Amino acid sequence: MIEWSKVSPEEFERLCAEILELNGFSNIEWYGKSGGDKGRDITATRVEDLLPGIRREKKWIVQCKRYINKRLTKHDIEGFLIAAKEHSPDTTLLIISSTLTPDVRDWLKATQKDYRFDIFIWEERDLEREIRLYTNRLTYKPPISPQTETPVLFYAMSHHDRVYMCNEIEDVGFYVANSSAKNEHDITMIREFINFIRENKITFDDSEAKP
């Protein structure tokens, strides 16, 4: 989980701008940093391929809201949409660090018909997905809280080559070939392997081996 309380509003807007750029947006202008954004924190354009050889550039207005102990209300969204009209966008995007309540989500779907531009919202789960996807390319990475308070314990299962399993993940473990007589050596190799996974993009070939 991301510790949004340790992310300033300015850092949150900067993170959003980076994610937009990594998603193919261009002409990105960040207004929130100087204040008085008039319903916008970021403006950007994005080219859409409608048909082969036919492309259209769309103008986006983006508002970024880092909420800690507050939910986004209908009034908040309505204020943003009314202010966005002044800029005649093709699309609006509201990026929030929280999650919409069901009634606000239903209201937003019904409200779309009142506006000539498309309305999208990125919630916390969307941000977490984008941060995981682009983690190695982001210049600003928000702090992430540890998932568990207690260490994950891996234990050996044999006396020769060893398989280490843990209670938290029942079906996946670590197999150490030619295991040392000292468990400390096994642990060092497993730690190095975990760090390698963290620092590199890993793909798996699940095709069957051919004779």
Instruction: Please write the tens of the pLDDT for every residue from 12-65.
Output: 999 999 999 999 999 999 886 555 556 678 999 999 888 888 989 999 999 999
Does residue 141 form part of some domain?
no
Range of the domain at 158: 154-199
Please, are residues 164 and 190 in contact by the beta-carbon 8 Å criterion?
yes
In a domain? residue 205: no
Give me the percent of the chain exceeding a pLDDT of 70: 80
In a domain, 102, yes or no: yes
* The overall pTM is greater than 0.85: no
Q: How many domains does the chain have?
A: 2
Domain assignment present for residue 37? The answer is yes
In three-state secondary structure terms, 75 is helix
Dist. CA 95–CA 99, nearest whole Å: 10
Interval 96-150: pLDDT, tens: 999 999 999 999 999 999 999 999 999 999 999 999 889 889 999 898 776 555 6
Residue 161 shares a structural domain with residue 71: no
Q: Residue 37's Cα: distance from chain center in Å?
A: 24
